[in-house]
A and B are shown apart, each in its own frame.
Chain A
Amino acid sequence: MKIFKQGILLLLFLLLFWVLLTSIDSQELIAGGVIVILLTLVFSRKAAVFGDFQITFKSLIYSIAYIFVFLAALVRSNLDVAFRVLSPKLPINPGIVKVKTSLNSKTGRLVLANSITLTPGTLTVETKGDHFYIHWIDVSTQDVDLASQEIVSKFEKYLEVMFG
């Protein structure tokens, strides 16, 4: 069942990718279909990560919401960093802090780490079990929980729904 699910998901992803690449054309679809099915067969066992996606309506909503949250964070982070770069004094207060996450699925953790990396002044340096080590350009707290609150939680609640 799990394999079946991840296989289907993989297939859909690949098909979407193919269509984006080639636009819609009968010949392309035939060839693409064959290739995608072959690839799915080859990779279905290894593609456990695709099985992490939750296929529910809620997760779809959350996904869309997440995109906006993330984009907002992204813009904010960039403006922040831009400000820091441009200001002559270079106002930074960097350091590596430890945060905790409750996400279990690998994909979720990946997306979380990526999101952290792309948002204000934070950069995932290392992951160890539940803990992420984050390079923070402006360390406001060194406490694990507080830092988690500040950095992780705003993404986590969406990702928990999306990836379980």
Chain B
Amino acid sequence: MVKRFLILLVLVFFVIMLLPLVSDIQPQTELNPLAKKYVKDGPDELGSANLVTSVIVTYRGLDTLGEVAVLFIATAGVGFMLRRRKGSKTNPQKKRESSEILQTGTALLTPLIFLFGIYIFLHGHLTPGGGFQGGVVIASAILLSMLSFPQSEINHKILNAIESLSGVLYLVIGILGIYLAAGFLDNRILPLGDFGRLFSAGAIPVIYSLIGLKVGSELVGILDSMQRSDS
């Protein structure tokens, strides 16, 4: 009880400390110069209709690379920390089969969700979404199969290959930026195309596709290691 009171006290002081962040900061009424530059020049410079995407993929591309790395690390870490169950035969508890309806539904929906995921990351420069969201959607398609068919195994070789190769390709595109364009991760290695259409914004769709594949396979990796590990 004393501890709780102490915590409460600390948090009260913490709130007092944070108060100026709310009280002293007026809501913005205009973009700051940096954002203005992005909004004004972004569409012409990078050709991406979604300005958030242009910020994510190009202007702050290193962040995104880091983000991909973080997810990659998480996958590796989760796989590292969880011991994989040896062989599915020694599985101690039998998992309950999913219902037939769910299985059928899954079979019907999976390709559609897949396509939807691809749509999201391929249109990252035109509509909301992008590699991460698309990757999550793809991962959730596979998650759905994992839920419906818990005994089925994921082909790890293919998963690994997709993960590795898409990551490496992303890097290669980044490197190409150094030599073909103005800098690392510059998307202008490909022509900018017609603004607002699918094949535009230089390498952004390619990059986002690769990120999408990578994120998708990484998330599947996380889920898979969590599912298959010893419990």
- In contact, A110 and B105 (Cβ under 8 angstroms): yes
Q: Is the interface of A mostly helix, strand, loop or mixed?
A: helix
Chain A residues numbered 1-56 whose CB sits less than 8 Å from any CB in chain B: 10, 13-14, 17-18, 21-22, 25, 27-28, 31, 35-36, 39-40, 43, 46-50
Q: Which residue of B lies closest to A125 (CB)?
A: B99
> A148 within 8 Å of B by Cβ?
no
Q: What CA separation (Å) do A33 and B56 show in the bound complex?
A: 28
For residue A39, which residues in chain B have a CB less than 8 angstroms away from its CB? 111, 114-115, 118
Q: What CA separation (Å) do A151 and B100 show in the bound complex?
A: 19
Contact of B110 among A43, A48, A124 (CB under 8 A): A43
- In contact, B101 and A14 (Cβ under 8 angstroms): no
Interface residues of chain A, those whose CB is within 8 Å of chain B, are: 10, 13-14, 17-18, 21-22, 25, 27-28, 31, 35-36, 39-40, 43, 46-50, 106-107, 109-110, 113-114, 124, 126-127
For residue B108, which residues in chain A have a CB less than 8 angstroms away from its CB? 49-50, 107, 110
Q: Which residue of B lies closest to A31 (CB)?
A: B198
Contact of B100 among A10, A46, A106 (CB under 8 A): A106
Residue from A17, A110, A124, A126 with most neighbouring chain B CB atoms (10 Å): A110
For residue B100, which residues in chain A have a CB less than 8 angstroms away from its CB? 106, 109, 127
Q: What CA separation (Å) do A55 and B18 show in the bound complex?
A: 66
Q: Is the interface of B mostly helix, strand, loop or mixed?
A: helix
Chain B residues numbered 101-116 whose CB sits less than 8 Å from any CB in chain A: 101, 103-105, 107-108, 110-112, 114-116
Nearest-Cβ distance from residue A81 to partner chain B, whole angstroms = 21
- In contact, B122 and A17 (Cβ under 8 angstroms): no
A-B contact count (CB 8 A): 66
> B59 within 8 Å of A by Cβ?
no
- In contact, B104 and A109 (Cβ under 8 angstroms): yes
- In contact, B119 and A21 (Cβ under 8 angstroms): yes
For residue A46, which residues in chain B have a CB less than 8 angstroms away from its CB? 107, 110
- In contact, B107 and A28 (Cβ under 8 angstroms): no
Contact of B197 among A13, A25, A47 (CB under 8 A): A25
Contact of B119 among A13, A22, A25, A43 (CB under 8 A): A22
Residue from B104, B105, B112, B198 with most neighbouring chain A CB atoms (10 Å): B104
Contact of A18 among B101, B103, B104, B115 (CB under 8 A): B115
> B38 within 8 Å of A by Cβ?
no
Known: A22-B123, A25-B197, A107-B108. A126 touches B99 (CB 8 A): yes
For residue B195, which residues in chain A have a CB less than 8 angstroms away from its CB? none
Q: What CA separation (Å) do A43 and B123 show in the bound complex?
A: 23
A-B contacts, 22 listed (Cβ < 8 Å): A13-B111, A17-B116, A18-B115, A21-B116, A21-B119, A31-B199, A35-B122, A39-B115, A40-B111, A43-B114, A46-B107, A47-B111, A49-B104, A49-B107, A50-B108, A106-B103, A107-B108, A109-B101, A109-B104, A110-B105, A114-B101, A127-B99
For residue A21, which residues in chain B have a CB less than 8 angstroms away from its CB? 116, 119
